[in-house]
Every structure is written in structure tokens, then in C-alpha cells.
Amino acid sequence: MKIIPIACLEDNYAYLLVCEQTNDAVIVDPSEAAPVQNVIDKECVTLKAIWNTHHHWDHTNGNQKLYDCYPRLTVAGHVSDSKRIPLINQCLDNNDTLSVGKEIVATVLHTPGHTLGAVSYYLEKDRALFTGDTLFGAGCGRLFEGTPAMLHQSLMTLSQLPPETNVYCGHEYTYNNLKFAAVIDPTNTMIQQRSKSLEKQPCSIPFSIKIEQQTNPFLRTTSHSVVDTVCRQFTLSNPHPVDVFAALRKWKDTYA
Ligand code: FE
Ligand code: ZN
């Protein structure tokens, strides 16, 4: 199985997954059709399915054009988005299994918070995880529809996957997210190292669950230094991890 990141729009990523035995392919989150179509043509693969992580325009806008080109396409998304994802014809729920060709097998993880129908696609055999706008490099999505408790739980689920899992997220925000992370967790040298490595090579994709556990403040809501910073900023004492998470999310929403 091969994974090809495709830069779309300003800072979005779509991902083409290719079964190398059959040349069947899946596209995750086609925010626009043209760049995806170019890669499909270049690779000479047969597009079989669209897997959307959530209903937002910048993850689904290519659905219609691709469907027009490939009328037997499967279009998958969470069941609660059955009226919001364009052309959806396969409704998913937590723990469903998807497969395309002989090599592409994914488990659906319902990870609500950014939106209520947000899902992540976990390919255990290939150690790959597609998180849409739930988990970003050193950050997480905004709370548009869910509660802090929901998104915190979703992120805990993802952070408990094997540390060597490679994460492919929906946007390239990692470098900027690390600036916020450094404010929250100022003594964490891993944050500085990660930031430095991106100065030479700005594409952060993929990154591991392990480096997220080490540097993402939204996953580190029980770490002493993160809790200390949040307590000082919001004058809290002994906050629950969900309260730490909620405070961080609120702070990040208005952080320059
Ligand atoms: Fe989104
Ligand atoms: Zn997005």
C-alpha cells in the first residue's frame, strides 16, 4: 500500500491510498478535484472510493467532480453526516471496517468534537491514521459542534494508538501550532527540536503518535508543566483534564 499526500487549497491535504497489487485507490478528503485527478492520471490507478473525515467544505468539495468522472464511486462518511456530505452512499459508524483492493483496510474511529460526525480512518497493518481536523500536528481542530469533553475523549482515543502510528492530518498547521505549544509547555525541549526541524522542511506529514504525545499540549492535559501554565493563566486549582483541555482550546482560539 502506498500513500500519496496531495496539497490542495491553501494548506489542506488530500491523500491518495493505492493498493499496489490491484492499482485500486481511495482518496481521503478531496477538497478539490483537479489536483487529485492529476495524481490519479499520473499514477494510472482506478479510483474506487472517497473517504471523508467530516462534512466541511474544505474536505468534501471535490466529491461531485470526482463522482461525475467515476460514477460507481463509493462515498463514505459518518452516518450522522448522511445529509451533509455531498453524494455520500456508505454511512459509517464507530468500528466499521472498510476495504479497497487487497491491501487497503481501515477501521473507522468516530472522533467527534470538531464536528459531531468527525471520523478518523485507522489502517492498523500500515500503521497509518487519517485524522481530518480532529488531530493536527501539535494541535487539534476547533470546537465547532461538539463539547470539550467529546473532543478530549476523541484525542485520548487517538493518542492511545501504537506510538509508531503515522498520522496524516487535514491541514499543515504544525509549525504555527508549535509556537503555541512552546508557550504552554516552555521547558519541553522536544517542542523546540520539532519546531527547528520544520524550518528546513516545512511539510510535517506524516508525524508519529509518539511525537504528538511528547509535544502536543492538547494530548498532555495531565502533564505538570501544561497544567501549571493553564492554572496560572485561568486561576484554576486542581482542574480535571477536560477543564485543562477546554481552557487550552479557548486560549488557542484567540492566540495570534
Ligand atoms: Fe474542518
Ligand atoms: Zn478543514
* 49-100 per-position pLDDT tens digit: 999 999 999 999 999 999 999 989 999 999 999 999 999 999 999 999 999 9
Distance from residue 21's CA to the centre of ligand 1 (Å) = 33
Q: 187: which strand partners?
A: none
* % of the chain exceeding 70 in pLDDT: 100
Measured from the alpha carbon of residue 141, the closest ligand is 1
Answer whether the bond into residue 206 is a cis peptide, omega within 30°.
yes
Ligand 2 centroid distance, CA of 63 (Å) = 15
Q: How far is the CA of 158 from the centre of ligand 2 (A)?
A: 18
pLDDT interval class at 35 (50, 70, 90): very high
Identify which ligand lies nearest to the alpha carbon of 29: 2
How remote is the CA of residue 188 from the centroid of ligand 1, in Å? 29
Residue 121, pLDDT score? 99
Q: What is the distance in A from the centroid of ligand 2 to the CA of 56?
A: 6
H helix count then E strand count, the chain: 9, 14
- Whole-number Å distance, alpha carbon 58 to ligand 1 midpoint, is 7
| Mean pLDDT on 173-179 | 98
Indicate which residues carry an active-site annotation.
Answer: 54, 56, 58-59, 114, 133, 171
What's residue 71's pLDDT?
87
For 132, residues 6+ apart whose C-beta sits below 8 A from its C-beta are 29, 53, 54, 59, 114, 118, 119, 120, 141, 169, 170
Q: Residue 168 Cα, ligand 2 centroid: separation in angstroms?
A: 13
pLDDT tens for 113-142 read 999 999 999 999 999 999 999 999 999 999
Is this structure's pTM higher than 0.75? yes
Ligand nearest to the CA of 58: 2
Look up residue 193 and give its three cell numbers. 527540536
Bridge partners, 132 (sequence order): 169
> Can you give the CATH number for the domain in which 86 is found?
3.60.15.10
Distances (CA, A) of 95 to 46, 66, 123, 132: 26, 27, 12, 17
**Cα 103 to Cα 191: distance, rounded to the nearest angstrom:** 35
The b/e string for 192-216 (b: 16+ C-beta within 10 A; e otherwise) is eebbeebeeeeebbbbbbebbebbb
Interval 13-34: pLDDT, tens? 999 999 999 999 999 999 999 9
**Number of domains observed in the structure of the chain:** 1
The C-alpha cell of 252 is what?
488557542
Ligand (nearest to CA of 11) = 2
Specify the pLDDT at position 118.
98
- Return the percentage of the chain with pLDDT > 90, whole number: 98
DSSP 171: B
Q: Which ligand lies nearest to the CA atom of residue 171 in the structure? A: 2
Torsion sign (Cα): 83, 87, 90, 93: negative
Average the pLDDT over 217-222 and give the result: 98
Residues in contact with 51: Cβ distance below 8 Å, sequence separation at least 6, in sequence order: 26, 27, 28, 29, 76, 77, 98, 106, 121, 130
Cα 239 to Cα 228: distance, rounded to the nearest angstrom: 10
Domain that holds residue 66: 2-253
Nearest CA to 132 out of 52, 190, 187 is that of 52
User: How far away, in angstroms, is 54 Cα from ligand 1 center?
Assistant: 7
